[in-house]
Structure 1
Amino acid sequence: MYDESCLPRIGSNIRLLRGACQFNQQQFAERIGISQTHLSNIEHNNVQVSLKLLVRSANALDCSLETLLDRKAAAEWAQAHD
Structure 2
Amino acid sequence: MLFAFIQQGGSGFEWYLHVHDTLASAERHVTSCDEGAYRTTEIVAIDADTDLDALDDQVENEIGYEDWGMANELLGAVSAPDPG
Q: Name the TM tier (shorter chain).
A: 0.3 to 0.5
**When you count strand as a share of all residues, which structure comes out higher?**
2
Which structure's CA Rg is the greater one?
A: 2
Taking CA–CA contacts closer than 8 Å with sequence separation of 6 or more, which of the two structures ends up with the larger relative contact order? 1
Structure with bigger helix share is: 1
Output the TM-score relative to the length of structure 2: 0.32
